[in-house]
Amino acid sequence: MNRKKNMLELEERLEQLNPVEGLTLLADLFSGKVVFSTSLGQEDQVITQMIASQNLPIRIFSFDTGRLFPETLDLLARTESKYKTKIQVYYPNTSAVENWVQEHGINGFYESVENRKSCCYVRKVEPLKRALAGNEVWVTGLRAEQSPNRSAMKRIEWDEANQILKYNPLLDWTYEQMIQYLNENNIPYNPLHDRGFISIGCAPCTRALLPGEDARAGRWWWEESKKECGLHSR
């Protein structure tokens, strides 16, 4: 069977399953080849809890870009402690960061969209490619209502840039559903969320939301763009 037919069949199966069941199915079908990338956001904390509570054989990884909030790094440690699990941390290539800063300055990402995207590439996209290498399924915490760019995504889709299946188990969850699950399961989360930070990335590139703004408005707030870093480009 060709990949398109396989994808349709897999998509149909996953549509009938809740997130835990979907994660379990993929971990069984692609044994040892399923990984989950967490940025320690609320959605990702939900999925981490699902994986850990069911002891699923899915490797969890994250990125330390070198510009994260202290609260994010603290949450990483608290999450590992609570769930007795290890989150593999990937770092950007030292020489690449040094070269970027030498060329653009420490905060050169403010100067243009191109500079910002190249900084994201060095600090996140390249490490992601290393983290995904050799695997077959990439689990993410994307939700359709987060942004217009994500509303067209499917529960499972082929990520051409990384040549891997991408599974979005919380795609159709609302913000309210997510918060309810966090509270009901006593899941640790970043205290910055309580201060108006909804989508949290690098500290210099993230601010709290203003009244009426959408969830991604606080990311790269100084520019007009699709508010993506390249990890989930379409």
Residues acting as catalytic residues: 229
Identify which of 218, 51, 234, 75 has the alpha carbon closest to the alpha carbon of residue 144: 234
CA–CA distance, 8 with 14 (Å, rounded to integer): 10
Please give the structure tokens belonging to residue 16: 């009938």
d(CA 90, CA 88): 7
What is the C-alpha to C-alpha distance for residues 205 and 201, in angstroms, rounded to an integer? Answer: 7
Nearest to 37 by CA among 191, 167, 151, 150: 167
CA distances from 98 to 65, 73, 174, 175 (A): 13, 22, 40, 38
203 and 68 Cβ atoms separated by less than 8 Å:
yes
